[in-house]
Structure 1
Amino acid sequence: MDRFRRASAAALLTAVALAGAVGGAAASSGVPAPPSGERAQDLATRPALSAHSTARTVAAWEEFRVHGSARNVGAGTPVTLQQKQGKRWVSLPATMRTARSGEYTLRVKLGIKGENALRIVGGGAVSPVVRTTVN
């Protein structure tokens, strides 16, 4: 019985030593640690917006739509279209409130020729950039 206890204790100490060595190697290798429970929950409840364009290429002042959905944003939250002009994001006069489902659709007409970078902002979130070329 005593021999069994010693073997169990030795196995347990070996496992703890190996876990510490692996954890230390992961920390020093630059591999990010998995998020803690509190941080993972914070990421899951963070506001987010999606954005999609109905056209990749349009004529100047031709109407197209930018639509998407809002996650973790209250119904009726205003969302605004922004266009990158030089190095700045400029808010355009295209704003609407999200529906109860979190979805939105904006009608857009652009006059600046070339590739236009667009995004949606609102409720503390920023959507990914959508690109549309104006001929």
Structure 2
Amino acid sequence: MNRWKLTYVSVAGIAAVAVLTGPTATGAAAVSPHAPHAPGAAATAAPRPTLTAKATVSSVRAWQQFRMYGVSHHMRTGTRVTLQQKQGKRWVSLPASVNTTRSATYNMRVKLGLKGRNALRIVGGGAISPVVNVTVR
């Protein structure tokens, strides 16, 4: 008879622990037949925003105008993108920025005065474009 009392106490203890801890991830999926998606689907995140960047020229005279253009992916229309230039070891934002268009593109006018090889990139919406090099002579 003691054996039955021990079994009853064990089952009651397991049930109490289950009630106190709540349903687990697998238990919740098994209990709810109307789950909106599979349990592993919640781990997938939205795609990261990206930017491309190209210059219309590879070499210009000082203060000669050229254009930087590219495409944004996984960003809202109208996201502000800004031109950055590498000065020493730091990236410095230049006063050149535009909003992305409805077709997810951007096109900005640029004039540079620092002679030599200039490393440029576009930032905005949590994305950073690859580096584009333009030589100013």
Answer whether TM exceeds 0.5 for this pair: yes
Matches within 5 A, 1:61-100: 61-100=63-102
The reply to whether residue 133 of structure 1 matches residue 135 of structure 2 is: yes
Aligned in 2, Cα 1:38/1:46: closer, same or farther, shift over 3 Å? Answer: farther
Aligned in 2, Cα 1:134/1:69: closer, same or farther, shift over 3 Å? Answer: same
The reply to whether residue 48 of structure 1 matches residue 81 of structure 2 is: no
Structure index of larger Rg: 2
Moved over 2 A (4+): 36-39
Structure 1 letter corresponding to 2:120: L
Alignment match, 1:117: 119
Supply the RMSD in Å over aligned alpha carbons: 1.6
Deviation of 1:76 after TM superposition, in Å, equals 0.3
CA displacement 1:9-58 (0-9 Å, x = unmatched): xxxxxxxxxxxxxxxxxxxxxxxxxxx9777x54x711000000000000
- Normalising to structure 2: TM-score of the pair? 0.68
2:75 aligned counterpart, secondary structure: coil
- Normalising to structure 1: TM-score of the pair? 0.69
Could you tell me how far apart the structure 2 residues matched to 1:37 and 1:128 are? 31
Identity of aligned residues (%): 58
Could you tell me how far apart the structure 1 residues matched to 2:41 and 2:49 are? 18
Could you tell me how far apart the structure 2 residues matched to 1:114 and 1:120 are? 19
Alignment match, 1:33: none
Deviation of 1:83 after TM superposition, in Å, equals 0.2
Could you tell me how far apart the structure 1 residues matched to 2:42 and 2:52 are? 25
Could you tell me how far apart the structure 2 residues matched to 1:118 and 1:130 are? 5
1:111 aligned counterpart, secondary structure: coil
Match of 2:103 among 80, 83, 101: 101
- Structure 1's unaligned 5+ residue stretches are 1-35
2:114 aligned counterpart, secondary structure: coil
